[in-house]
Amino acid sequence: MGVDPGLNKTGWGVIRNLNSCDEYISHGVIVTKKKDNLGQRLNKIYEDLLKVVKKFSPENIAIEKIFSNTNPDTTIKLGKARGIIFLVAARSEVDIFEYAPNTIKKNLVGYGHANKNQMVKMLSRIFPDIKVESDDAADALAVAICHSMQKNSKISLSLK
């Protein structure tokens, strides 16, 4: 399961890896109301993400590593949303993995500085039968695919 954390929108995507082939399961976005206070918004992310984890029982949760925004307040809010994802993973006894944005892009597109459009196009090639209308869900699926690729790479290396 990949998660793209955000206070306004938290994207999630679930895939299954079968014999080094990723199979799409589901995706979605958790949207919070800007008028709600911070505690209510974080609680919504917690409750909704916990439901998703209980429904799909992922083996792992993958998340993008934090980066600093020009606005420190935005970075702090993102950090709080990420903390909720770590809490959900811990409470659900699911291992969590972090990947740098460039690693995610390089695994998905083959280029570490790919733009959103290139990533969405690659997702549509990997999963041609689905329509991902949210950038947040697309990012979450990209994180899930990156983790799948990294996990398979490490398994194959350890077998040699």
Catalytic residue among 22, 47, 136, 139: 136
Catalytic residue among 4, 47, 59, 135: 4
CA distances from 51 to 54, 97, 117 (A): 5, 20, 30
Q: Tell me how far apart the alpha carbons of residues 150 and 83 are, in angstroms, rounded to a whole number.
A: 23
From 83, 110, 97, 89, select the one nearest 147 (Cα to Cα): 97
Q: Is 64 a catalytic residue?
A: yes
DSSP letter at 48?
Answer: H
Bridge partners (DSSP) of residue 98 are 63
Q: Phi/psi of residue 134, each to 5°?
A: -110, 130
Q: Which two tokens stand for residue 16?
A: 């299954």
Q: Is 59 a catalytic residue?
A: no
Catalytic residue among 48, 64, 73, 98: 64
Q: Tell me how far apart the alpha carbons of residues 138 and 83 are, in angstroms, rounded to a whole number.
A: 21
Active site residues: 4, 64, 136
